[in-house]
Structure 1
Amino acid sequence: MNCKPLILFFLPAMLLLPAKKVCAQKIAVSNVYQPASFPLVHQQKAASIYIDSKDAAVVPVAAEAFKNDLTAITGAVSEVKKDAAGLDTFPVIIGTLGQSKWIDALVKSNKIKAEKVRGKWETFSISVVDAPFTGIKKALVIFGSDRRGTAFGVFELSRMVGVSPLCWWADIVPEHQNALYISPGESLEGPPSVKYRGIFLNDEDWGLQPWAARNMDKEVKDIGPKTYTKIFELLLRMKANFIWPAMHPCTKAFYFYPDDPKIADQYAIVVGSSHCEPMLRNNVFEWAENFQNEYGQKPGEWRYDLNQKQIDQYWSDRIQQSKNYESVYTVGMRGIHDGSMPGPKDKNEKVKLLDKVITNQRSIFAADFTKPVNQVPQIFCPYKEVLSLYQAGLKLPDDVTIVWADDNHGYVRQLSNPQEQKRSGGSGVYYHISYWGAPQDYLWLCSTSPSLISYELSKAYQYDAKNLWVINVGDIKPGEMETQFSMDLAWNVNRWKPENASQYAAFWAEETFGKAFAKPIAKIKSEYYRLSQTAKPEHMNAVIFTDAAVDQRLKEYQAIAKEAEELQKQIPQRLQDAYFELIFYPVKGACLMNEKVLYAQKSLELAANGDKTALDFSRKSEAAFQQIQIITKKYNEQIAGGKWNGIMSWHPRDQEVFKMPKIATEEMVEEGKKLKVPTNSKDKTITIQAASFTTKKDAPDAKITTIIGLGAGGNGETLLPVMINPVDQNQLKNAAYLEYQVDLPKGDHRIKIKCLPTFGVYEGRGVRYAISVNDETPQVINVAPASENAVWKQNVLQGYASGETLHHLKNSGKNSIKIYPLDPGTVINQLEIR
């Protein structure tokens, strides 16, 4: 037996506890016997698990999963007992306050303290209780304030003993233990930072839907109840509670399969619907395709000003179906799919129509619910063109939660201003780590870093987006780690602040693969995110790099790919599949995509000069293209015995970037010899990382803070706290600044400042910096683009926004450059001096 305590297994609970909830002594997990500990698994015997059959349906779901987790770790078989007359000497007791006879009896005898959780949202306690009942030595007691609180407590203990939340979804086999003991004490968690926390299954056409049809819901050949059962368990294991179901034309509506909402309720998952699906209706299927089957007649036009009666009935019918389940209703109206609301062309008239839509939707709630309308959870998502309608004067009821959207590329477009922060409905965020749309998709690999996720979502939280976070995760795979990070952050926003979010990869790698692999995996992931920031793998054909940058980029990608390959040889056999899915495939795939595109470009440049080595690069590009297909075939057909067959496409939507690019041929080289292209001399460019400042000055109310892993170059400099007021550009005397001492020749110089491509925190705010060379009058630049214009498109593809200023230097030698971040959300990444 390994006699070292299982420190690794203790970390998740220790680190995720909010500071205000820390108890004198928290429980810990060990495989070393101590007389005071609770024997969860002792001498190959697992403690029995006791629940009350009158408790919520999710309690036996969690209890059975926990029983199976114990078997997976130790081989010992526990038993879940409902309504047993008596208890074993060392029982595990699981229940919800007010719904479990065991829990209520312990409260009555003062063995557990109900006031610690009573009335709180999704709060739980895990404790070792001495002599809980007559003749019982010790009990391990898990109880929650509500049904999800209980389930979260159970799955938190699973995570503590060594079962990853991604155990099924990423084939993470836990390390075998002969015994498990829980030390005396109590771990108390909750309430969560964000009330509703979950995922949006989206753009599922090339992964989740074909995989589910082939492997899970074979009878209906779709994403159906069996698939959702696994998804809902994943959410519970991540302490998440919310879903926007898949809704593309390839997938039938969630409510089309009667078992879907029943299973959601069994797993205590709150069901909503996306920004373009009002009132839990999936219009792509239910209006455009299945309406006649449901109603016996064809639908009229999807225009509320012309077809109100039919649309109201359609919405009311769904409320009747859903009102006994926990749901969050999207109000408002857009096109049948992801397009603008049909109706009058005049914007003011459109605003009036949308006002009418929401007023009537609330009348439907009033008619169909017994509770007041303001107690029916409702959201309004000002996504894309809807934001302009909201800004044009839409009268939104105060209790409706505004769910602000990012720009689809990870940068939140707008947050609540001081007046909106007073609204009783509060706000939330709809955020993408996967996306189909302009200017270019990123559906293949997930490369949004924890640092960026934390920076944008923590900023949103500070501006009162605390009611709902929904993350567009595409097909779930291969964004497993990033999804788990988002849910960990939503549970405890103070645990993974922007200042330490870059450490999550090491924390997660230790939890997933073990301490020996934490640092090397974190290093690989850090480089992977840094390189992807300046062009995601899916955007490689849309970004132009200098020759030097191409060489450096290839060198750095090949370095981490090699590290991933070498590390793969050391990973234990039980974790080989998990390592391939979570680390090797995305890192190798990104490297190969860069090789394919950049080698092809090199081949054409060399051929234009008649250089025969162009053909070597042509071959390298082709080899990379073939290798992408080989590793994807392995993912689908070999990993986990073919379990994931159909989940991974190397060419979603058949975008141009996934095809074999044009490469040099012998004929092109011969032609190039005749038409030799002259090389133009280029200005010398000096690149300085923003974090490499010479000196720094903080302001009385704000501190310039380095955020590791944020933005181009790897690190960003930003003002914290993020709730500060903007700096008056005419009053810089006490403003915070970064100073750089740079050797430069006299004459004219252009200085480009690369910033994170964020938006002003709300309407009227910018993303400004001021720059002064040798204490000249500062020049002020605002890098926030108008929404979705050509500048924005280039910004999100290249991973930075930039401003450029001209400066005349009178003398050669050391010159002082001062940069003043002026707005909350401004992040300085790099200086380029020409």
Structure 2
Amino acid sequence: MKIYENLSTPGHRAITPAAPVIVDSAYRPSERDPHAERTWRQVTRAVQDLRQDIAMTTGSIDWHTVQQLFADDPQAQADRLAAADPSATPALIRLDSPESALRQFGGDAPIDRAIIVGTIGRSAIIDTITANGRLDESEQIADRQEAFALKEVDDPIPGVAHAIVIAGSDARGTIYGIYALSERIGISPWFWWGDVPVDVRPIIDANYTHACVELGPAVPYRGFFINDEDWSMVRWNRKKFPNPQIAPEVNYYRHVFELLLRLRGNLLWPAMHPESVAFNTATGEDGVPVNAREAERYGVIMGTHHCEILLRNNEGEWDQWYAEHHEQYHMRGASVRESYDFTLNREALLAYWRERLETNKSCECSLTVGIRGVHDGRFNVAELDRYPGDTTEEKEVAFMKDVIAAQRALIEEVYGPAEAARIPQVLITYKEMNDVYNHGLSRVLEQPEYRNITLMWPDDDYGFLRQVPTVAEAAREGGAGVYYHNSYVGRPTNNTWLNSSQLPLMTEQMRRAWNTGMRRQWVINVGDIKLSDMSTEYFLRLGWNPDACTAESIGADFVRMFARRDWGADKATAAELADCFDEFSQLIAIRQPGFNLASLNPEGVAAGIDLEEFAFNPSSFGDEAQRWLDRCAALTSRVRRVADALPDARRTAFFEQWYYAVLSQSDTAAEYVNFWEAWAAFHDGRIGDARRYIALSKAARDAIIARNDELDAINDGKWAGFIKYDTHLGDDHDLIEDDQYPNVEMDDGDSDGVEDTIGGITATSNDSARPAGVPAEPVGAAPSESAPLGFVATDGIVACEAEHPTRIIPGMDGSYWAPIANEGQHGDTMKAFPDRGISRPGEGATLEYQVWFERSGTVRGTINRLPTFNEGVEDDGTPRGCRLAVHVNGDEPIVLAGNNAWGESRNRHSLTTVWERNIIRGYEPLQFEATVHAGWNTLAIERVDASVVIDRIVLAAKPLPRSFYGPDESRRISVSYR
């Protein structure tokens, strides 16, 4: 058995499976790396993974067994390797020095081929190979963070004739290089989490005659946050792992740490909800938390989210700490949770934080500063009036400055000035903290003593960044970062079940973050990890190299890569799956699967604003509800055909990683659309129709339940109980209860004369009729590709997809509009660039749409804007906004202002707030009126604020029916034909 990619490559020599892995016996501490011993331990641990990965590809270790392991540890892995066939399993050789190789191996050249692993500047072996001129790539990566190189080298050290050399710039760089080789030989990063199989085969790709060099990540700190795990992962954890009383426990986190590193991440925010036992609860004999020590052994940096200050998990630690210390510190407060108040119990909180810093001092960490409530709530300030200021806002700024100053002093006391300066410190401006920042904390953090704090801005919990830094903020030593959501529990509705993030939106928003200087720390909330494989990996790839990831490349590059690596797709099948993924992105832009429950109104169709505002209207534009269902069904059918073409062994991974979500999204759509149709029929007195719609809805609901049973059973019940549609406090997240349907007798004999199968109403195409006076194109002639196209009104309505302007005019100020692929509900969007700055009137880039109306008159226009935010101010203090200017035929521009600030629009007790309504429908309608004349008219949309994204434009000369989906795009013809 050989490991090779192309044996005909000059200089390539295949590495046999038994070729040993050679490492140094130790790294010596140096000024460059005072933690060299830790670096060595982290690298040698990953080397054991590499040995096992090779053994699984050769078949000497059964990969099925490893994939089914829940509890695993270094000794168990070592025992497996020792028991494996030595002719198909790499040995591990530790060298005291390169010169000792001959003495240790014996003979002139007893080792023909090997794999050599080490860290530049710490590994004597790697440094010797470099000094001998055989690894010039070391110079490219030596002083970089987390960089690595892989290269085939002849005569690397005495006693070895040929080797693949893996060299890293530091511990994690070396580890990433190790896992790069593992992935090359067929081990997916999702091997355990996604049940991706291993192809046991006689020939395996691994040709590095041309060196593979990765210069390290663009974003230094990249990771994910395990959240909202109470109602799925924790319960599953208790059943599957050996320590149910401390779930999630260390064996679970070993799988998490390995996944993170295989994806080239380095930062983890651990699970922290009430049902989870706090990450740092279990401690070793030395008092160091077991999980933190294990993270250090892997090379993972531990951080915490916005309300877990200085590594403290309040949900799991504060109550007990309070019980043990409240008398000692004479703590005040009306309750245990209200005692978590810096204005009342300053010394107690500092002691609480100090204790955790001391226990975790030896482990790599990122420290969250500031303060919020015990859980996800506003900070307690019972005695805020102690702080200076004329307003509450000014006092809160003074309070937060005091908190951060005290925390910084504490960090320096525990770690010492030099080490404290190296530790990442982060202020996460989540929810009310963003208001405090904008009310004046920003000026505090401009002061020199605070400039190394990273400013981490969040999205709105649904994928839209609230604020980006000014040029000055981005230039601070600590820089800026992003906390992004792939999963969320809260208003307006939970989004946890399918983790159906829209990757084009993620791309656009994270590239916006990168473009504006948010380049220090990126963290994504992945819920409980499962089902978020693609979005998690894609996010971390964005952090590694933002320039390599664009909305256009999601399907062209990422999905195709994923499909070939994990699902065994051939080139053509991978391309087909990428096209399907583009359609899936648009369908979830129209309606997230988890958002249907937000509109559920058990009182019936006519009773509430939820239905009137958000539900599809069966009587609008050819039964838009059925049109949406038809799109969902068409995608499902297409994906099912593609799934049948995948290798049998790969279908489980495909089902878990994406197919389950596609099918469940389609069934959820059918469940809810038919639910609404049933209520509409019931209120119209069409009882037979109502019964049939109820049956269709319940059939879809039953399919969801059956699919979950299927998921529970696969791979010997590995994930049984993990994935639930009842994802929040026992509420059914996406299932309709029987008592919510119309109360009709289900008499099978009463059909009311309706066909057994409910179909959609046939819509009349805009192309089917041409109003009198519309310029006709020559019969059989298509518009020239170079000719500008305009839109022709049908029945007084023009609908334009934003990505189809007649003309794009660059701005005098350098601004421009550009398409974002598949970000919209029906296709691409158009975005106003650059991502900073305000355009003065008449200077911004302009989109022009030629629109033809049969008659003159007043039209009502609606521009569907993605509900992005743009909080804060520009560097000159000018308030930002989400504005654009519209004019028709050169009339005075009308400035349309979209909802700009999350905090000002949010109300937890109503679905009628601007932000919540925008999130549910996926866009914000900006409305205006204009005068048009008969014939061609020029609609111009001019950039005012940065990063405004528009999806479509509708102009109507008459009132439109209530509609969620809206009319189809109008017919386009060459403007030159007029």
Q: Is the 8 A contact 1:432 1:471 kept in 2?
A: yes
Question: How big is the shift at 1:549?
Answer: 2.1
Per-residue CA shift, 1:772-794, capped at 9, x if unaligned?
Answer: 22222221112134324211111
Q: Compared with structure 1, are the counterparts of its residues 175 and 832 closer, same or farther at alpha carbon in structure 2 (3 Å cutoff)?
A: farther
The equivalences for 1:260-271 within 5 A come to 260-271=291-302
Aligned in 2, Cα 1:323/1:609: closer, same or farther, shift over 3 Å? same
Deviates more, 1:163-172 or 1:338-347: 338-347
C-alpha displacement of 1:236: 0.7
Q: Is 1:632 matched up with 2:712?
A: no
User: For 1:494, what is the secondary structure of its paired residue?
Assistant: helix
Moved more, 330-339 or 344-353: 344-353
What are the within-5 Å matches in structure 2 for residues 378-417 of structure 1? 378-394=425-441, 395-396=444-445, 397-417=450-470
Between 1:779-788 and 1:379-388, the stretch displaced more is 779-788
Measure how far apart 1:290 and its partner are: 5.4
Q: Deviations over 1:539-578 (max 9, x none)?
A: 0243322223211110011111222323332221211210
Deviation at residue 761 of structure 1 after TM alignment:
6.1
Counterpart of 2:940 in structure 1 is 818
In the alignment, is the contact (CA less than 8 A) between 1:502 and 1:708 conserved in 2? no
Deviates more, 1:585-594 or 1:448-457: 448-457
Q: Is the 8 A contact 2:307 2:372 kept in 1?
A: yes
> Residue 289 of structure 1: CA displacement?
4.1
Which residue does 1:26 correspond to in 2? none
Check the 8 A contact 1:785/1:792 in 2, yes or no. Answer: no
Residue aligning to 1:22: none
Q: Deviations over 1:6-48 (max 9, x none)?
A: 9xxxxxxxxxxxxxxxxxxxxxx6164656213134xxx3422
Residue 707 of structure 1 corresponds to: 820
User: Structure 2 matches for 1:681-700, cutoff 5 A?
Assistant: 685-699=797-811
User: Aligned-pair distance for 1:537?
Assistant: 0.5
Other-structure match for 1:15: none
Which of 253, 266, 286 is matched with 2:278 structurally? 253
* Deviation per residue, 1:368-398 (Å, 9 max, x gap): 1123343332000110001111111122311
Give the aligned partner of residue 719 of structure 1. Answer: 832
CA 1:95–1:771 in 2, change beyond 3 Å: closer, same or farther?
Answer: same
User: Residue 146 of structure 1 is aligned with which of 170, 184, 190?
Assistant: 170
Distance in structure 2 (CA, Å) of the matches to 1:256 and 1:278 = 16
| Cα distance between partner residues in 1 of 2:326 and 2:685 | 69
Partner of 2:124: 101
Aligned mates of 1:182, 1:524 — CA distance in 2:
33
1:699–1:608 distance in 2 versus 1, CA, 3 Å: same
CA distance in 2, matches of 1:743, 1:73: 66
CA–CA distance in 2 between the matches of 1:476 and 1:587?
17
Letter in 2 for 1:74: T
Q: Equivalent residue for 1:25?
A: none
The one-letter code matched in structure 2 to 1:371 is P
Give me the whole-angstrom Cα distance separating, in 1, the residues matched to 2:327 and 2:724. Answer: 38
1:658: which partner in 2? 734
Contact 1:164/1:511 (CA < 8 Å) preserved in 2? Answer: yes
1:55-454 superposed matches below 5 A: 55=27, 56-75=40-59, 76-83=88-95, 85-86=104-105, 88-113=111-136, 114-180=138-204, 181-220=206-245, 222-257=247-282, 258-289=289-320, 291-292=322-323, 301-344=339-382, 346-372=392-418, 373-394=420-441, 395-396=444-445, 397-454=450-507
> RMSD in angstroms over aligned alpha carbons?
2.6
- C-alpha contact (below 8 Å) 2:899/2:914 kept by paired residues: no
CA shift in 2, pair 1:294/1:740, >3 Å: farther
1:323 Cα deviation (Å)? 1.8
Map of 1:677 onto structure 2: none
Render the CA deviation track for 1:388-421: whole Å, top value 9, x for unaligned: 1111112231110000010001001011112212
Shift of 1:609: 1.6
| Residue in structure 2 matching 1:833, options 938, 943, 955 | 955
The secondary structure found in structure 2 opposite 1:392 is: helix
| Distance (whole Å) between structure 2 residues aligned to residue 624 and residue 233 of structure 1 | 37
TM-aligned CA deviation for residue 493 of structure 1? 1.1
Specify the alignment match of 2:651 in structure 1. 576
Q: Which residue of 1 aligns with 2:677?
A: 602
Contact between 2:307 and 2:376, CA under 8 Å: does it hold in 1? yes
Within 2, Cα distance between the matches of 1:821 and 1:175?
53
Q: Deviations over 1:268-292 (max 9, x none)?
A: 0000111001110011110024554
Q: SS of the residue aligned with 2:417?
A: coil
SS at match of 2:482: strand
Alignment partner of 1:36 out of 5, 8, 11: 11
Normalising by structure 1, we get a TM-score of: 0.91
Structure of larger gyration radius: 2
Q: Which runs of 5+ in 2 are unaligned?
A: 28-39, 60-87, 96-100, 283-288, 333-338, 385-391, 600-613, 753-793, 874-878, 906-912, 957-978
Partner of 1:678: none
Bigger drift between 394-403 and 781-790 goes to 781-790
- Residues 307 and 375 in structure 2, CA contact (< 8 A), matched pair in contact too: yes
Say if 1:356 and 1:309 are closer, same or farther in 2 by CA, change over 3 A. Answer: same
Q: Report what 2:965 is aligned to.
A: none
Per the TM alignment, residue 473 of structure 1 is displaced from its structure 2 partner at its CA by 0.4
SS of residue in 2 equivalent to 1:416? coil
Counterpart Cα distance in 2 of 1:135 and 1:684: 84
- Give unmatched runs, 5+ long, in structure 1: 7-28, 674-681
Cα deviation per residue 1:662-684 (whole Å; 9 max; x = unaligned)? 323436999999xxxxxxxx997
- C-alpha deviation, 1:359, in angstroms: 0.8
- Secondary structure class of the residue paired with 1:817: strand
Matches within 5 A, 1:674-685: 685=797
Q: Which residue number in structure 2 is paired with residue 522 of structure 1?
A: 578
**Does the C-alpha gap of structure 1 residues 776 and 32 become closer, same or farther in structure 2, counting only changes over 3 Å?**
same
Describe the shift of the 1:499–1:822 C-alpha distance in structure 2 as closer, same or farther (beyond 3 A): farther
Inter-partner Cα distance in structure 2 for 1:135 and 1:600: 74
For 1:135 and 1:742, locate their aligned partners in 2 and report how far apart those are by CA, in whole Å.
80
C-alpha distance in structure 2 between counterparts of 1:720 and 1:499, whole Å: 17
In structure 2, the residue matched to 1:537 is 593
Aligned length: 793
Mapped partners of 1:656, 1:671: distance in 2? 32
Conservation of the 8 A alpha-carbon contact between 1:608 and 1:672 = no
Q: Which stretch of the first structure deviates more once superposed, 539-548 or 275-284?
A: 539-548
Q: Which residue of 2 is the match for residue 775 of structure 1?
A: 890
* 8 Å CA contact 1:32, 1:179 repeated in 2: no
Corresponding position: 1:621 with 2:693: no
Matched residue type, 1:343: V
Q: C-alpha displacement at 1:643, in angstroms?
A: 0.9
- Match for 1:731: what amino acid? G
Matched to 1:152, the amino acid is: Y
Q: Which residue pairs with 2:663 in the alignment? A: 588
1:487 counterpart residue number? 540
Take 2:11 and 2:424, find their aligned partners in 1: how far apart are those partners? 46
CA contact (8 A) 1:162 1:511 kept: yes
Structure 1 residue 735: Cα displacement: 3.1
**SS of residue in 1 equivalent to 2:455:** strand
TM-score in terms of structure 2 length: 0.78
Q: Distance in 2 between matches of 1:584 and 1:294?
A: 52
Q: Which amino acid aligns with 1:476?
A: I
Larger mean Cα displacement after TM superposition, 692-701 or 555-564: 692-701
Corresponding residue number in structure 1 for 2:564 = 510
Separation in 1, partners of 2:683, 2:379? 50
For 2:560 and 2:9, locate their aligned partners in 1 and report how far apart those are by CA, in whole Å: 30
Measured against aligned partners, the alpha-carbon deviations of 1:125-177 in whole angstroms (never above 9, x if no partner) come to 11111221245321110011110000001111222233221121101113343
> Which residue type is aligned with residue 951 of structure 2?
N
What's the CA shift string for 1:346-377, capped at 9, x where partnerless?
Answer: 33222222211111111111211123343332
Further displaced range: 791-800 or 756-765: 756-765
1:486-526 CA-to-partner distances (Å, cap 9, x unmatched) read: 00110111110345344322332233223343122222222
Cα distance in 2 between the residues matched to 1:217 and 1:741: 67
Determine which of 617, 638, 642 is the counterpart of 1:567: 642
